Homo-oligomer: A and B are copies of this chain.
Amino acid sequence: MSRTDVHGTVADGFEPVREEFAAVVAGQDGRAGAQLTAYARGRRVVDLWAGDEVGGDTLTGVYSSTKGAATLVTALLVQEGVLDLDEPVARHWPEFAAAGKDTITLRDVLTHRSGVIGVDGGLTAADLADDTVIARHLAAQRPYWKPGSAYGYGGFVTFAMVNEVIRRVTGQSLQQVYDERVRIPYGLDLYLGLPEAEERRFRPVQRWTATPEQEAAFWSDLPGPHSILGVAYGLNGTPPLDQVGFANTRAVRANGPASAGGVGSARGLAALYAAAVWGIDGRPPLLKPDTVGEFAMPHSTGGDLVRGDQGNYALGFQAKGLRYAFLGANAFGHDGSAGSESFADPAGGIAFGYTRRRFGFGWSYPEHDRLAAAVHRAAT
C-alpha cells in the first residue's frame, strides 16, 4: 500500500472531492499526512485521509485552528449574556488595566486590535503551555501599538486573555466550558486538553522539508526577535519558540492552551463548525443565527501589523468569505500553523475540516484553495 493511497468515504456527488484530495496527496508525495472531512447542512459527506501513519481517527496539533473552538465557547457565553463583548477586559481582570490597557474590550482582544501580542522579556515554551501563566505575564505588558489604531494577529497569546476573562466571570476555564458544553455532548474529536487515554491516537507534528540554504534564507528574511512579529511568534524567548516542538510537548497537549494548543482530527474540526451552525447527530445547533452573524462579521481587514500581509479577521474567527472568493460573505473559521484549515459557510451549507501532520515550508498551503473549492463545488 502506497502512502499516497486515499482512504475513507464520500457521499454521492462528492466523488470530485476525493479526486482533488488524491491529487493533492500525490503532489505532496504523501508526506504531509493529511485528513479531510466535510459536512453539508449537518450531514457528513466527505471523510478522507492519506499519508504517513495517518488514519481517520489520528489526532495531531491543529495550532490556531484551536481558536475556532475557543471562539465557539466565547460565542456561547455571549449568546447567554454571560460575557459582554464591549466591556473592558479590566472590569473583570483589574491587573490587566496596567500600561494603558484599561479601555481594551473583549471585542478588541478577539479582533486582534488590543496590541497585546506577547511580552518584552519573551515567553518560554513552558509559559506558553499554560493560559494562566501567559495571562499573568500579559497583564503588566504595554501594548505593542495604540489599542484600536490597528490590528495584528496575536498567534500564541490572544485567547489566554479571553480565557482569563472567562475564568474570572464564570469560575471555570475556557477548556472546562468547552468540554462540558461542546466537546463531550457533541462527541467532537478536537481537544483543548488531551486526556492521557487519547494520547495513543496522537501523531507528532513533523518539521517542514527544506535545504539548509532555504532554511537560512527564510529566517534571515524575517524581522528580528524583538520586532512586533518576533514578539508575537515567540522569537524573543530563550530559546526562541520552536513551533514544531510546541505541539509535540505533552504539557501543551494536556493543558490545551486556547490560542494554539488544541489537538484534533479533520473530523473534529469539521464537526465543530457543523455543530455550531446546523447541529449534528440529532443535536441542535450551538449558535443562534444572530450569534453566528455577530461572530462572522469582518472586524479587522487590510494590513496586519504583526504578519505584514493582508488579513481578514471576524470576531475571534477568521473571515473566510474574504479569504475564499467563492464562499459567502459570512463564512468563518480558522486555519493553523501546521496547515490545518476549518470553516463553516452558512450560505453554501458547508462545514470543512482539514489537517496535516507536516508543516509546509514557509507556512505555505496552496491545497487549501483547491480543497475548499472542490467541496464548495460539490455541495452547491
Query: Mask for A220-242, Cβ within 8 A of B = 1, else 0?
Result: 00111011111100000000000
Across the interface, A329 reaches (CB within 8 A) one of B100, B231, B329, namely B231
Given contacts A142-B293, A293-B99, A293-B142, contact A149 B298 (CB under 8 A): yes
Cα-based distance from A111 to B149 in the complex (angstroms):
11
Docked complex Cα distance between A348 and B236 (Å)? 12
Assembled-state Cα–Cα distance A299/B145 (Å): 6
| Distance of A147 from chain B, by nearest CB (Å) | 9
Q: Mark A324-344, 1 if CB is under 8 A from B, else 0.
A: 011111100000000000000
Contacts of A226 in B (CB 8 A): 321, 327-329, 347-348
Binding stretch for chain B, among A27-35, A154-162, A301-309:
A301-309
Is the C-beta of A10 less than 8 angstroms from some C-beta in chain B? no
Closest Cβ of chain B to A86, distance in Å, is 11
Q: Which residue of B lies closest to A302 (CB)?
A: B303
> How many of A's residues come within 8 Å of B, CB to CB?
44
A294 contacts partner chain B, Cβ-Cβ < 8 Å = yes
CB nearest to A221 among chain B residues: B325
Tell me, rounded to whole Å, the shortest Cβ–Cβ distance linking A39 to chain B: 18
Q: Could you tell me if B321 and A227 are in contact, using CB atoms closer than 8 angstroms?
A: yes
Q: Is A297 an interface residue (CB 8 A)?
A: yes
* Residue contacts A-B, CB under 8 angstroms, 18 given: A120-B347, A142-B293, A142-B294, A145-B301, A146-B298, A149-B300, A150-B298, A223-B326, A224-B327, A226-B327, A227-B321, A227-B328, A228-B321, A229-B325, A231-B329, A298-B305, A301-B303, A305-B322
